[in-house]
Amino acid sequence: MSERDRFIEENIGLVHTCAKRFHGRGPEYEDLFQAGCVGLVKAVDHFEPERGFCFSTYAVPLIIGEMRRLFRDGGSVRVSRSIRELSLKASRVREELTAQWDREPTVSEIASRLERTPEEVAQALSAGLPTLSLTRSGEEDDGEQIDLPGEAIEERITDRLALQQVLSELEGRDRALIVLRYLKSETQQKTAEQLGMTQVQVSRRERAILETMRKKLIS
């Protein structure tokens, strides 16, 4: 197994965590999981650790984005013939391995059997999913409207990424001040003692830093 595949396997739990948040709102859990795998593979391929972000913080929005496509795509999706053929092969292999191992095989295991990359298999499996109409019509449900999952999860993650970026741009002492005050919940007096400042200096500097951060976050 390559280092890339091993990293995907190690972080597959992120897909399960995200799928559980959306489960019961329309698509089947398996469909959510397969779509999430596409996002995970994209995250692994484009993650830049030198930027200083945690992988999960970067990956979760991509995973959720792929899952939300199941809710947004109400019409037919045009899929290439090669993807359709790979989707059928991957589905057959998945059924065979499930029967053989008495468990659901991972995307990497299916890819290994097909001698394809996990990304190709994840995309093929996702392409084979049935589409979901946002407004169902018919005698049984009387056009019941399906509620899309809210943006709260993505918004929180996006806000956190933006905040981390702004914090990383602060000078060392200013960053330490904000960390002490808002992440470690220290009082201004305790913060002043640790930074060799007076409480008045901490209070003034804190206001100035927060104003600078606010401007950057809303720009």
pLDDT by position in tens, the chain (length 219): 678 888 888 888 888 888 887 767 667 788 888 888 888 888 888 887 777 667 887 788 888 888 877 776 543 344 556 777 787 888 888 888 888 888 878 877 888 888 888 777 776 766 655 444 433 444 444 444 434 444 444 455 555 656 776 777 888 899 899 889 887 888 999 999 999 999 999 999 999 998 888 777 654
Tell me, what's the pLDDT at 190?
Answer: 92
> What CATH number does the domain located at 169-218 have?
1.10.10
pLDDT at residue 73, as a whole number: 57
Q: Are 43 and 31 in contact (CB under 8 A)?
A: no
CATH 1.10.10 domain residues, the chain: 169-218
What are the residue ranges of CATH 1.20.120 in the chain? 3-147
* Cα 196 from chain centroid (whole Å): 40
Instruction: With 0.85 as the threshold, say if the pTM is over it.
Output: no
Q: What are the angstrom distances between the C-alpha of 78 and each of 33, 75, 83, 89, 122?
A: 21, 10, 10, 19, 17
Class of domain 3-147: mainly alpha
